[in-house]
């Protein structure tokens, strides 16, 4: 059988940085190749080079024997390559169905009318990925997972011979991951060649035929999933160890006024209820996790605390109401949110983003804080001058967390911090949180659907489901009382 | 759904417009005639900005090239009006393409800047070669479309209706969808297999064609071609304000905005200098508080949830 996609000696340089170095592999029809590696190892860059979004510095990308390296993206797309981007990039003004229709259109200036076949086909694809119910809605009204579905739908619509899928599982619940795995599996069944990148190692291993591991732009291992996961280097630079639960000393002063006290919180988006009668409290120095599936209301809760959405009910901070304060005033008061969407200043450098975070600190404090953060995330130190927009997905996440910490918050709200991070970085982040806990009096509110990360770091856990808090308790009791659907 | 709503609004309005000469004086008809030509300028502009996402700060470059090509041919070579119009439209397309091919390679605000500079250049050339072009005073034309108010009115109305129908149809077609995708996210559109540059260039040429044609028609209505009426930056600014006021991405809104702008300017004329101020203030308020413009609200209100 001949390979559909053959990559040889692929190299990509960004100025002095070699993001991809002499990478080669081939994928046959009906085969899924997994591409793994730590954040910033060059996985997305490989995909962009294949797709023609970045021009390879050297090397060949052969589609059924034709070298397409250096071709413009649209020609490569028409030659039979499709990509599912790491970040969903929906058009704002088009409905879900229009997005899928768009993907079905040929590149023709004279297409003045669509026949009904296209609409029907688009509806069929929407059904296949589970978007039937929301076909006529605009992307911004949809939950995260549905946007990822839309990306898959577009790839299906284009029906490319080679499908590049970048982090399809990031931010999804285990149920959704299973759905997506099945969809990606169906590409294989239909004879496509699939290149799959994701940090969800278990799901990747279960799905792929072979795995290639990268580190610092280079290939470090290739073989079956088992072989690669057992590889020394892969274990060291990518997988890391298990996330440990540290012993939690009892916090003193449990009965004092809680630092943050949320009572009877309600949020409406138009007619839809996003939060209903939510009450939570957080004591000084406590680590509290809010666990819930996508769309359950975690982000809305955090946005209400930061005063980014209008709400009913009360939110008290150190016994005083936050009502009427601007988001800026709340942040200066010590509540700092690291949002799911990151909100980095894309055209500013890593250093500038961090400096903005530390703007209100005395110079000396800011310098120490910066040093400490560079120790925590060494990659940021070496990338100080790079524009935030060009960082890899995981690097951006690290920068967002670092910028939030730079503000020396009293209460740090982390919304899905694990999104897109390699296992080894999760472990580092986990250790960092533990250090924070032991060396400072910081309070943390963590929103996660990844319970393997949320539980070890929590003194207390809330479970939020369908806009309401349905469970509160000790992490140790979570598994038996509320774990169904999360573990 | 969107379409049927639009038809329900547009068709009766056009009928009323067609019957206007029965009840309205020549003065008002004259104003509306002017407004209808502006409407075509604004609709062409909207195709480029609202759909392809490219801000053309110099619509009067395209208008001016079309107008002056037609004017020179008519004045010096005494070409009859129809071939002058055709030549004007094609000259605008050619000039537009010459400008757009390199300019569309630039990302960010540079495309807009290039178009702005183009207007200034054209204006300067026209003034520099005043001996041929008539300079600031203008070039008077041996031919006019008609001396009858009603006939002129119907020419303009028909022209606006046909151009509007074509531009609107285009915007709602699959090509319009591809254009919007290219405008919003060029990388994504390319990854879906669309040649973004080709689609944008096509949009620019179509926009140029209608702008140039309308410019040429306008001068044959006015009987003279002058920098102040078809090239000046202020003309372009008015076109842009009209399109935004009426509602971006609606095409029809651009026409509504133009009629409003010219009508308001006239009603407020007794205020003298102040009238421009008042009109601009209204425009500002609409843009700030109803970014969708007049039509944005009307058309989209029930169109989508
Ligand atoms: N345009 C660019 N300019 C400079 N450096 C870049 C650019 N694009 C990517 N890089 C760098 O190249 C490296 C590889 O990035 P890439 O996005 O391929 O990583 P990745 O393996 O996909 O990581 P992640 O798992 O975090 O998504 C990163 O260190 C990134 O910062
Ligand atoms: Mg990546």
Best-predicted range by mean pLDDT (A270-284, A291-305, A402-416, B262-276): A402-416
**Token code pair at residue A138:** 């605009």
Measure the CA–CA gap between A110 and B167, rounded to whole angstroms. Answer: 14
The reply to whether residue B185 touches residue A89, judged by beta carbons under 8 angstroms, is yes
Residue A431 banded pLDDT, cuts 50, 70, 90: confident
Residues B89-138: tens digit of each pLDDT: 999 999 999 988 888 777 777 888 889 999 999 999 999 998 898 888 88
Q: Does any ligand 1 atom lie closer than 6 A to the CB of residue A390? A: yes
**Which of the residue ranges A479-483, B36-40, B300-304 would you say has the lowest mean pLDDT?**
B300-304
Determine whether the shortest distance from the Cβ of A41 to ligand 1 is under 6 A: yes
Which DSSP letter does residue B51 get?
I
pLDDT tens by residue, A229-270: 998 888 888 887 666 666 565 555 455 678 899 999 998 877
Beta-carbon contacts of residue A227 (< 8 Å; ≥ 6 apart): A211, A221
Nearest-angstrom CA–CA distance, A317 and B190:
49
Pairing verdict, β A81-84 and A162-166: parallel
Q: Return the pLDDT at A187.
A: 92
Exposure pattern of A44-56 as b/e (b: 16+ CB <10 Å)?
A: bbbbbbbbbbbeb
Task: Report residue B242 as tokens.
Answer: 């009209």
CA distance A39 to A25: 20
- Residues A333, A324 contacting (CB under 8 angstroms): no
At residue A428, the pLDDT reads 80
Q: Could you tell me if A254 and A226 are in contact, meaning their C-beta atoms sit under 8 angstroms apart?
A: no
What is residue A89's predicted lDDT score, i.e. its pLDDT? 78
Do the strands A210-215 and A287-291 form a parallel or antiparallel pair, or are they unpaired?
Answer: unpaired
pLDDT at B305 over 60: no
Would you say A154 and A101 are in contact if contact means Cβ atoms under 8 Å apart? no
Question: What residue ranges define each of the domains in chain B, with the CATH number in brackets?
Answer: 2-6+31-303 (1.10.3470)
CB B285 within 8 A of CB B279: no
How many Cβ pairs within 8 Å bridge chains A and B? 87
For residues B165-170, give the mean pLDDT.
Answer: 94
Q: Which residue in B184, B185, B193 is closest to A107 by CB distance? A: B193
Helical (H) or strand (E) element with B28 = helix B26-46
Q: Give me the pLDDT at residue B104, please.
A: 79
Say which residues have a Cβ less than 8 Å from residue B250's Cβ, sequence separation at least 6.
B46, B50, B293, B295, B296, B299
Residue of chain A with shortest Cα separation from B51: A93
Mean pLDDT of A332-344: 86
Question: Is the Cβ–Cβ distance between A96 and A150 less than 8 Å?
Answer: yes
Please answer yes or no on whether A94 and B180 come within 8 Å at the CB atom: yes
Domains and CATH numbers, chain A: 3-239 (3.40.50.300), 258-485 (3.40.50.300)
Q: What are A181's strand-pairing partners?
A: none
| Gap between the Cα atoms of A180 and A167, Å rounded | 11
Please state, as a whole number, how many other Cβ atoms lie within 10 Å of the Cβ of residue A154. Answer: 24
Residues of B at the A interface, defined by Cβ within 8 angstroms: 169-170, 173-175, 177-178, 180-181, 184-185, 187-196, 198-199, 202, 249, 304-305
Helix (H) or strand (E) holding B95: helix B81-103
CB B220 within 8 A of CB B40: no
**Given an 8 Å threshold on Cβ–Cβ distance, is A102 in contact with B178?**
yes
Quick: pLDDT tens for A32-48: 999 999 999 999 999 99
**pLDDT band at residue A434 under the 50/70/90 scheme:** confident
Q: Dig out the tokens for A27 from the structure.
A: 């994928």
Q: Tens digits of per-residue pLDDT, A73-126?
A: 999 999 999 999 877 778 888 899 999 999 998 887 776 676 778 889 999 999
User: Per-residue pLDDT for A222 more than 50?
Assistant: yes
Give residue-wise pLDDT tens across range B60-94. Answer: 999 999 999 999 999 999 999 999 999 999 999 99
% residues pLDDT > 90 (chain B): 58
Strands A272-282 and A260-269: antiparallel
Give CB contacts under 8 A, 24+ apart, made by A478-481: A478/A291, A478/A451
The structure tokens 């709400």 sit at A311
Partners of B177 on chain A (C-beta within 8 Å) are: 94, 98, 101-102, 105
Q: Which conformational region is residue B290 in: left (phi greater than 0), alpha (psi within -120 to 50 degrees), or beta?
A: beta
Angle ∠(B248,B249,B254) on CA atoms, nearest 5: 55
The three-state secondary structure class of A101 is: helix
Closest alpha carbon to A142 in A295, A336, A277:
A295
Which of B304 and B248 is assigned the larger pLDDT? B248
**Comparison of pLDDT for B291 and B24, the residue scoring more:** B24
Distance in Å, CA A87 to ligand 2 centroid: 9
Residue B238 phi, psi (nearest 5)? -60, -40
Rounded Cα distance between B31 and B20, Å, is 12
Look up residue A109 and give its DSSP letter. T
The Cβ of residue B229 has, within 10 Å, a number of other Cβ atoms equal to: 20
Name the minimum distance, in Å, from the CA of A84 to any CA of chain B: 9
Tokens 């079309």 belong to which residue? B66
pLDDT at A1 over 60: no
Assess contact for B42 and B259: CB atoms under 8 A.
no
Terminal-residue alpha carbon distance, chain A? 40
Please give the pLDDT value at position B304: 40
Distance CA A230, CA B269 (A): 83
Are the C-beta atoms of B126 and B209 separated by less than 8 Å? Answer: no
Residue located via tokens 């809010």: A290
Over chain B, what is the mean pLDDT? Answer: 89
Q: Which residues of B touch A75 (CB under 8 A)?
A: 195
**Cβ A101–B177 below 8 Å, yes or no?**
yes
By Cβ distance, the residue of A73, A93, A110 closest to B191 is A73
Classify residue A128 as exposed, middle or buried by CB count within 10 Å of its CB (0-12, 13-18, 19+): middle
pLDDT of residue A379 exceeding 90, the answer is no
Would the CB of A396 count as within 6 Å of ligand 1?
A: no
- Integer angstrom CA distances of residue A389 from A91, A345, A385, A484, B268: 19, 8, 12, 38, 49
What pLDDT is recorded for position B2? 58
Reading the block at residue A264, the tokens are 């009877």
Q: How far apart are CA A311 and CA A297, in angstroms?
A: 13
Q: Which pLDDT belongs to residue B102?
A: 85
Ligand 1 atom, smallest distance to A391 CA? 31
Integer Cα distance of A425 and A477 in angstroms: 27
* DSSP code for A258: P
* A368-396 mean pLDDT: 90
In a 10 Å sphere around its CB, with 0-12 CB exposed, 13-18 middle and 19+ buried, how is residue A441 labelled? exposed
Averaged pLDDT for residues A13-34:
94
Residue A11 phi/psi, 5° resolution? -135, 140
Nearest-angstrom CA–CA distance, A142 and A269: 12
So what's the pLDDT on residue B50? 84
With beta carbons less than 8 A apart as the criterion, state whether A401 and A338 touch. yes
As for the ipTM of the complex, it is 0.85
Q: Contact A143/A112 with Cβ under 8 angstroms?
A: no
The residue count of chain A comes to 487
Task: Output the pLDDT for position A165.
Answer: 95
Q: In this structure, are residues A238 and A36 in contact, taking their beta carbons and an 8 Å threshold? A: yes
Please provide the DSSP assignment of A203-257 as one string: HHHHH-SEEEEEETTEEEEEESHHHHHH-HHHIIIII--PPPPPP-PPPS-TTSP
Q: Alpha-carbon distance B41 to B46, whole Å?
A: 9
Helix axes B59-76, B196-222, angle to 10 degrees: 50
Would you say residue A353 has pLDDT above 90? yes
pLDDT surpassing 80 at residue B226: yes
Task: Provide the mean pLDDT of chain A.
Answer: 88
Rounded CA gap, B42 and B235, in Å?
11
Q: Please tell me the distance from the alpha carbon of residue B259 to that of residue B244, in angstroms, as a whole number.
A: 13
Report pLDDT digits (tens) over A161-215.
Answer: 999 999 999 888 888 899 999 999 999 999 999 999 999 989 999 999 999 999 9
pLDDT value, residue B303:
40
- Are A154 and A168 spatial neighbours (Cβ–Cβ below 8 Å)? no
Residue B192 tokens read as 């879906």
Among A21-25, A132-136, B261-265, B292-296, which stretch is predicted with the lowest mean pLDDT?
B292-296
- Return the percentage of chain A with pLDDT > 90, whole number: 50
Q: At CA A320, angle to CA A317 and CA A326, rounded to 5?
A: 70
Cα distance from B174 to chain A (closest Cα, Å)? 6
């Amino acid at each position: 059988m001949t390979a559909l996609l053959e990559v040889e000696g692929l190299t990509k340089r960004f100025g002095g940085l070699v993001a991809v170095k002499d990478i080669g592999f081939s994928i046959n029809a009906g085969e899924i190749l997994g591409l793994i590696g730590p954040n910033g190892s060059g996985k997305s860059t490989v995909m962009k080079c294949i797709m023609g979004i970045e021009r390879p510095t050297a090397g060949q990308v052969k589609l059924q024997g034709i070298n397409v390296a250096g071709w413009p993206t649209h020609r490569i797309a028409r030659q039979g390559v499709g990509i599912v981007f790491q970040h969903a990039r929906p058009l704002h003004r088009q409905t879900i169905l229009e997005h899928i229709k768009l993907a079905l259109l040929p590149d023709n200036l004279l297409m003045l009318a669509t026949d009904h076949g296209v609409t029907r086909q688009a509806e069929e694809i929407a059904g296949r990925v589970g978007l039937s119910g929301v076909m006529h809605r605009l992307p911004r009204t949809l939950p995260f997972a549905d946007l990822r579905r839309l990306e898959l739908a577009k790839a299906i619509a284009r029906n490319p011979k080679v499908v590049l899928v970048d982090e399809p599982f990031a931010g999804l619940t285990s149920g959704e991951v299973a759905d997506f795995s099945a969809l990606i599996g169906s590409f294989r069944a239909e004879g496509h060649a699939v290149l799959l990148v994701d940090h969800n190692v278990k799901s990747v291993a279960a799905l792929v035929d072979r795995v290639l591991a990268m580190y610092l732009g280079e290939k470090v291992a290739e073989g079956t999933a088992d072989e690669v996961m057992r590889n020394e280097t892969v274990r060291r630079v990518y997988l890391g160890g298990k996330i440990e639960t540290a012993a939690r000393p009892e916090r003193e002063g449990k009965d004092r006024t809680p630092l943050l006290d949320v009572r009877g919180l309600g949020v409406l988006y138009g007619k839809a209820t996003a939060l209903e009668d939510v009450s939570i409290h957080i004591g000084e120095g406590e680590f509290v996790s809010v666990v819930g599936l996508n769309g359950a209301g975690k982000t809305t809760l955090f946005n209400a605390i930061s005063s980014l959405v209008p709400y009913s009910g009360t939110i008290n901070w150190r016994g005083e109401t936050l009502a009427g304060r601007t988001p800026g005033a709340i942040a200066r008061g010590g509540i700092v949110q690291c949002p799911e969407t990151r909100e980095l200043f894309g055209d500013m450098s890593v250093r500038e983003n961090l400096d903005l975070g530390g703007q209100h600190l005395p110079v000396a404090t800011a310098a120490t804080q910066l040093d400490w953060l560079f120790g925590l995330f060494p990659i940021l130190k070496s990338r100080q001058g790079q524009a935030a927009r060009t960082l890899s997905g995981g690097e951006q996440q690290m920068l967002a967390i670092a910028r939030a910490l730079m503000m020396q918050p009293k209460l740090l709200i982390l919304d899905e911090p694990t999104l897109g991070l390699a296992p080894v970085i999760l472990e580092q982040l986990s250790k960092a949180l533990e250090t924070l806990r032991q060396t400072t009096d910081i309070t943390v509110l963590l929103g996660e659907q990844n319970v393997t990360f949320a539980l070890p770091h929590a003194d207390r856990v809330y479970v939020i489901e369908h806009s309401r808090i349905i469970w509160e308790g000790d992490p140790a009791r979570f598994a038996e009382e509320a774990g169904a659907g999360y573990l | 759904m969107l379409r049927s709503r639009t038809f329900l609004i547009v068709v009766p309005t056009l009928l009323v417009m067609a019957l206007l000469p029965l009840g309205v004086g020549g003065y008002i008809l004259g104003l509306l005639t002017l407004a209808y030509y502006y409407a075509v300028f604004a609709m062409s502009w909207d195709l480029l900005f609202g759909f392809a996402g490219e801000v053309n700060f110099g619509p009067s470059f395209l208008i001016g090239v079309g107008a002056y090509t037609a004017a020179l041919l008519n004045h010096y070579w005494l070409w009859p009006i129809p071939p002058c119009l055709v030549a004007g439209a094609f000259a605008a397309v050619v000039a537009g393409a010459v400008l757009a091919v390199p300019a569309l390679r630039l990302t960010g605000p540079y495309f807009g800047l290039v178009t702005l500079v183009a207007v200034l250049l054209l204006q300067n050339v026209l003034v520099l070669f005043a001996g041929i072009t008539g300079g600031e005073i203008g070039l008077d034309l041996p031919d006019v479309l008609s001396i009858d108010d009603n006939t002129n009115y119907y020419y303009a109305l028909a022209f606006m209706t046909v151009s509007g129908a074509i531009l609107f149809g285009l915007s709602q077609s699959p090509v319009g969808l591809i254009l919007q995708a290219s405008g919003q996210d060029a990388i994504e559109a390319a990854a879906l297999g669309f040649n973004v540059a080709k689609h944008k260039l096509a949009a620019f040429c179509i926009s140029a064609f209608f702008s140039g044609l309308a410019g040429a028609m306008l001068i044959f209505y006015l009987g003279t071609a002058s920098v102040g009426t078809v090239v000046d930056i202020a003309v372009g600014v008015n076109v842009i304000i009209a399109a935004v006021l009426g509602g971006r991405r609606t095409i029809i809104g651009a026409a509504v905005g133009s009629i409003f702008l010219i009508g308001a300017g006239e009603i407020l004329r007794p205020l003298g200098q102040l009238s421009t101020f008042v009109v601009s203030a209204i425009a500002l308020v609409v843009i700030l508080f109803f970014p969708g413009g007049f039509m944005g609200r009307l058309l989209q209100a029930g169109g989508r949830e």
